[in-house]
Structure formats: structure tokens, C-alpha cells
Structure 1
């Protein structure tokens, strides 16, 4: 049956089961999804599972059956109130892998049955000076999945095809999902850190994004030193090929050419800056950071050390990173949770009980 009020949707191909979507009493197409019911610590379970209407498909939209969705620290910031919600009762999740069930009439490049990736960047104006200069991540009108639009903690999601990704073959859904934010933002952070060829990279924090970015840096010939508080994360870093893995506030065994701060801890900014060699760069990868303590110019910034932020990503970043993934397949360390236990996965992330990346699997 063609969903009510969705002119332009193509019916499923013969032999494929139809979307598991329902129509409410008002005729709206609905799906089962988690929403941020209230902002609270993750241990207090701020998420609630509901039947919620799907957004309109639109001419360039894709209706996607979600197969896997990564649990990102940004989802945690949204649920706990570090990021002000932009949509009431928003469905988090912006590391989404699924299959296209239906397409809008202008959704070029995708067909029913295609595997598709939905990432953080959901839309830009396309006309501002940032967009026209290839810096759409700085668009003042940018929109984000799981913050401005409903995301992937659901059975189904809607995405603008212009901001969706074709995915490389050879990786299962649950291993691809973390690449769509943790991987892509790590790629941009590595670019912002300006690590020279064969350089020495420091990685502060070793969660989903860091364990992917470290592998990318090593594939490019870098020596990687990891500083993180969790013993399990330090073991994983060494297993993946890091030259050293020590405590978060420890000094690396040699000066660093570049560093990336993944932990959302402002106290680590002066620590990482002090570990840089002359001319080194620290890139801060998170969307949220606790307050940075005062910096000492001579100790932290003199000798042309640079402190840079990282803001979202461009679609070009995403395509470039996924192309590197196709050439150098990363080891993606995944902790799996059924979609019905999304609140548990978020609570485990908050309590540092996740090593690598937490991923929700359709159930």
C-alpha cells in the first residue's frame, strides 16, 4: 500500500518485503523510534521508545530501513543537555547504515535496495560564502542528523539523497556505521592537525573516533602515541599498532608533531599543547568541550604551536575518507546492542563501559 500523503514515493520492487511502517489514526506514516524525552544523565535513561511520524520524504528524499546505527558521544551530549535540543522529542543517531526502501522523484544516484549511509551533516544552504568556498561545514544554515532532523535510533529514517553516502563493499553494516561520524570527523581532525609525512601523532582519548583515526594515521606512515584513562582502551591501542599507550595526563615518550584531542576534557588542552614539538598543531575534535584552563604562552603556544578547533565535516571529507577505507580497511572494534536496548548503549558510553564503538543493530 502506498503510504498516505507521500506522493512521489516509488513502491517496493517485486519480491521485496514492504517497509515495516505503520499508519496512525490520522493517516501519518509512523515508525518505532527512540526520542530524547527529557535531558538528564544517561544513567537516568532520558530516552523513551515511541511510535513517531516519519518526516516528509520530499523530492530528493530517501526512505531508509535502518540496519545499524552507531552510538556517538554527540548523542550523549544531546541526551544529557550539553547540546540544546533543536527538535522536540528528537530521535538521535547520525551513524546510520540502511537500505533504501523508497525514493523521491529527484533523488538521483540511489535506487531501491541500495545500501546507504546517513551521516551527521544533513543539509546546507549551498549559497553562502562558506558553501561556495568548499567549506560547507561552516555554513550558518547547516542542519544535522539527530539534532535538527530525526536520526537513526529508529527502524526507519528519511535523508536527503544529496547528503547520503554510497558505502564501500567488504564491511558489515555494524562496522560501517561508526565510520559515518567517528571516522569522518577523525579524518577531518587529522587533516586539521597537519601531521607531516612520517610524523609523530598524539591521540588523547581512545574511543570510537580515535581508534579509527589512529589506524588512518598509521596507514599513512605515522607513529602514534595514545594517552587515555581507560586500561581496556590502552590495550586496544597497542593491539592496533600504537607505539605507546599511557595515561591521559602522561607525557608521550617523544615530542609530537601533531595531536588530536578526542576526549571532551578541556583540562587536557594545555597537557597536549605542552607535548607538542616546535611548530606542532593540536586539533580539538569534539563538538563539546569542558572549560579550558588558562594557558601559559611560553609553555603552551610559543615556538609556533597551534591550537585549532574542528567543526563538523564537508561531504568531500566523507567521500575522501570512505575512499581511504576502501583502500586500507580499518579494524572496527564494535560493541553491539539491539535497537531495543539503545538507552543501555548510551548509558554504557557515558560510564566508559564501551571499548571502541557502540552500535545499535536492528531487531
Structure 2
């Protein structure tokens, strides 16, 4: 496998979205595809684990329009550095790194200069704009990876790189006060990590989700209550995060907020929101916010916090050869916790 700067780095076996379709119809196709050239600040990774995110599902099913034809999904990549470009001297062969959703920004727009690079109009994303981790190898930008500790299993670290980081940013956007009351709507990969983060900070957490198995997991992790998605929590909420991509839950979550509370919508895709009556849902200074990707500072802060308070990551492993099955299981709510692809 050649790896000189500007030359191709060989080929890899990968899953790509052939034609968007319901996950049950298996829209992924396995191919042998060329890897990208190794640039001056590029890293060639051997993929050791890749989380299966709901955003991958949105791409496979056509909820998000494809940006790059034949692009392997996957943006929760744990890998080992095989080769580094000549200007990536801060990395060496064998280093353990993580590649996440944010793959690149312009670095010069007013958002980047203000520390809000997640809003950069020229931002690029792993598994959408650049090839992702549903593959044996990946070429990534050294400026957008995270150094990962030795010790934890690859499959436990992979979900931290999107489910965890996005949950961290959503929690920041939700303005949860110290010791506050937090509601989590939906309890999949991101929510089960965010719940543990909030609990470690001293919050009371109420989970509202349609899955009985997910409700049991929430209580096992320390949630104060776990009820159905349309139910009311046992007390008014200071903050809430909507992880389920269901617009009908926006008024449900807003109605559960106390005066001055904030609802953060964490997904990149959401079905239509019903008409909101202002006095019923937004009056008394209730706030509705979206969450858009994350900054690298978010990622570093979250990984530092998990080093101090390691979360329990509930993983369901799938061999890379069974990626379509993992995606179909996620679509059918057959995954409690997080699905992770690992080498066969």
C-alpha cells in the first residue's frame, strides 16, 4: 500500500450507499474503492471500530441528500495510524486516534474566528463530505482527530466521538442549571451517554421514550424516572433535550418545561413540528433551540470529562461484514444503547 504525499494510498473494502432506501431494503453495497491521496496533514488509519449513528441511517434512507457519490458512511471512527503525511509530525505509526463528525472547516469565516466553527458555511463532515468509517481504512485530516487513551476497548470509545460529543453540546445548549431537572426524549446512543454526563454533574434525569427496554436501561443508569415518550415527567423540567427525530414531540417537551426552561433539539434531521400555540408552549420565557454539529473544543472538553467520569457504554457489536444488519436493527429500534462495527 503506497503512501507518498499526493499519491493514492491503495484501496479498501467499504460499504457505500448505492441508492437511498429504507434500511430494511439494504441500501448499503460492499465495494472495493480507492483511498484518498495522503496529503501533507493527512493520516491513513486502520479502522478498529466505527459506531453506527442515526445520521448514517438518515443518509442511507435519503432523509439527508448525499454530498459525495459512493461515500462510505460512519463518523465515530477509532483507528490506528498506519502512515502520516510529512506535516503531520505530531502523529506516529500506531497512535490511537478518533475521527468524528466534523471533518473540516475554512478556519477564516466569522464563525470560525469566533470559536463557532460548527456553523462554518464550508464545514465538511465525515461519512457525508469525506469518506467515513464503514471501511477497513480511512484517510483523515490530522487537525480534526482526537487522541484517544490506551486501555478502553475500541468499541467503547467509538460512540463517544459523536453520540457523546453531540450529547455534550446539546447539554450545553439546554442550559441545565446546577442540580437541575433534565428531561431526555428518546434514549438511544447519545441519550444514554448524556444521561450519565448529567448525573455526574448532579442533575436529576427523567427519560421519556417509547422503548420499554430503553426505559429499563435508563433506570439502571440512575435516572429518577423513565416513562413513555408522550407521558409527562413527574416534575417540571428546567431543561430538556429531544434526541428522537420526531417533530410531534417538540410541543410535548415544551409543555413539560418549567417557566424559563429550555428545550434543545439534538438531531440533524427532524420530522415536521406541529403548529405551536405561543401562550401554551413558549410564553413565560421558555426557549426552543437547535443543536448544529460541534466544535473541536466541545470534543476535547467532553473526552476530558469522560476521562474523569468514565461512562458505562452499552455496546452491541457487529462485524463490519454485517453493517446492513446493524443499520436495519437501528431503524427498527432493535438496538438498546449503541451499535458498533468492528473488523471481522
Please report the TM-score for the alignment, with normalisation by the length of structure 1.
0.93
The CA deviation at 1:157 is 0.4
1:266 alignment counterpart: 247
Alignment-derived partner of residue 114 in structure 1: 95
For residue 307 of structure 1, the aligned residue among 288, 299, 306 is 288
- The answer as to whether partners of 1:169 and 1:326 remain within 8 angstroms in 2 is no
Change (3 A) 1:128 1:246: same
Which of structure 1's runs of 4+ aligned residues deviate more than 6 A? none
Query: For 1:310 and 1:164, how far apart are their aligned partners in 2?
Result: 21
Task: Please give the residue correspondences for 1:23-38 in structure 2 after superposition, counting only pairs within 5 Å.
Answer: 29-38=10-19
Distance 2:318 2:109 in 1: 40
Q: Secondary structure at the match of 1:100?
A: strand
Quote the Cα distance in structure 2 between the aligned partners of 1:44 and 1:99.
33
Per-residue deviation, residues 8-49 of structure 1 (Å, max 9, x unmatched)? 49xxxxxxxxxxxxx9xxx87100100001100000000000
Q: 1:348 aligns with which of 319, 329, 340?
A: 329
- Match of residue 318 from structure 1: 299
Distance 1:121 1:170 in 2: 25
Q: Mapping of 1:10-21 within 5 angstroms? A: none
| Cα offsets for 1:200-219 (capped at 9, x unmatched) | 00000000000000000000
Correspondence 1:208-247 to 2 at 5 A: 208-247=189-228
SS in 2 for 1:189: helix
Partner of 1:139: 120
Unmatched segments (≥5 aa) in structure 1: 10-22
CA contact (8 A) 2:9 2:37 kept: no
Q: Paired residues, what number?
A: 344
Contact 1:259 1:281 survives alignment (8 Å): yes
Distance in 1 between residues matched to 2:190 and 2:184, nearest whole Å: 10
1-structure distance, mates of 2:90, 2:273 = 44
Residue 35 of structure 2 corresponds to residue 54 of structure 1: yes
Residue in structure 2 matching 1:79, options 46, 54, 60: 60
Contact in 1 for aligned 2:96/2:150 (Cα 8 Å) = no
Instruction: Tell me how far apart the structure 2 counterparts of residues 8 and 268 of structure 1 sit (CA, whole Å).
Output: 49
Q: Which residue of the other structure, out of 67, 89, 105, is the alignment partner of 2:70?
A: 89
**Residue 57 (structure 1) shift:** 1.4
CA contact (8 A) 2:52 2:326 kept: yes
Judge conservation of contact 2:4–2:38 (CA < 8 Å) in 1. Answer: no
Matched, 1:105 2:102: no
